[in-house]
C-alpha cells in the first residue's frame, strides 16, 4: 500500500469509527484503542518516509495536503497520548 493510500485511509478512518461507535457503543473502547494503534503505525511510517508527500484533494481548486516526517512525530505523540488515556480510564464505569 502506498503512503498516499494510507494517508487517505488514516484521514477517513476516524469518521467511520466514530459513526460505528455511535451505532455500537459497546465497541467504543476497543475501536478507540484500535485507531490509536493505526495512528501509531501511520506515524512510524511517516517518520521513516523521506520526501514530502503532497496530496491535491478536490482537484486544483481544493486543498493541498503536505505530509512530512515532522508531522509524523505529532501523529506519534497523539497516538501515544490517546492510547495512554484509554488504558488509564479503561476500568472506569464511564464511557
Tell me if 94 is assigned to some domain. no
Tell me if 52 is assigned to some domain. yes
Tell me if 95 is assigned to some domain. no
Spell out the residues 6+ positions from residue 29 whose beta carbon is closer than 8 angstroms to its own.
Answer: 86, 90, 95
Site of grid cell 459497546: 26
What pTM, to 2 d.p., does this model score? 0.85
pLDDT of residue 95: 54
Tell me if 74 is assigned to some domain. yes
Range of the domain at 22: 3-88
pLDDT of residue 94: 64
Tell me if 75 is assigned to some domain. yes
pLDDT of residue 90: 86
Domain count, the chain: 1
E strand segments, 1-95 = 53-57, 63-67
Tell me if 93 is assigned to some domain. no
pLDDT of residue 49: 85
Q: Mean pLDDT in each 10-residue stretch from start to end of the chain (95 residues)?
A: 90 94 93 95 91 86 88 95 93 69
Amino acid at each position: 500500500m502506498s503512503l498516499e493510500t494510507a494517508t487517505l485511509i488514516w484521514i477517513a478512518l476516524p469518521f467511520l469509527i466514530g459513526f460505528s461507535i455511535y451505532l455500537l457503543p459497546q465497541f467504543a473502547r476497543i475501536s478507540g484503542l484500535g485507531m490509536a494503534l493505526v495512528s501509531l503505525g501511520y506515524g512510524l511510517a511517516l517518520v521513516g518516509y523521506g520526501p514530502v508527500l503532497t496530496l491535491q484533494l478536490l482537484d486544483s481548486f481544493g486543498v493541498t495536503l503536505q505530509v512530512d516526517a515532522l508531522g509524523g512525530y505529532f501523529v506519534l505523540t497523539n497516538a501515544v497520548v490517546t492510547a495512554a488515556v484509554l488504558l488509564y480510564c479503561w476500568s472506569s464505569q464511564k464511557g
